[in-house]
Amino acid sequence: MKPLVFNAESSQDKESLHNISLKVTNQNLDGLTLIQIPGFSDEEVVCSRLKRDDMEIVPKASTEIRTNDILQLVGDDNSLAKMRLIIGYEVDAPTVFL
């Protein structure tokens, strides 16, 4: 997976980026890697943090997702709305997990 690079000039016509925290409730995702979940493979959304129980990590494309994980996602509003439908519901979580 190629790294995402911010380009100020190309972002002028693009929608603003936002972040949300989603709890994984879709049991069909349990055991899949992040890159296998639609939305991540086409780089519409980036997962910046993953919280599982008391553990917090910066996930990689190969990180396995489990039911009840909390994913911190960054993307435009439309892409984040799609991810809500796929992954689960939004939860209140700090932007950076403590």
* pLDDT tens, position by position, 11-24: 544 569 999 999 99
H or E segment at 48?
strand 45-52
Q: Cα separation of 47 and 24, whole Å?
A: 13
Low-confidence ranges of the chain (pLDDT < 70): 1-15, 94-98
47 in Cβ contact with 70 (< 8 Å)? no
Q: Cα separation of 23 and 14, whole Å?
A: 27
Options 3.30.1330.10, 1.10.238.10, 3.30.70.1450, 3.30.2290.10; which CATH number does 16-90 get? 3.30.70.1450
Report pTM: 0.79
Coil, strand or helix at 10 = helix
Q: Cα separation of 74 and 55, whole Å?
A: 20
Every domain of the chain and the residues it spans: 16-90
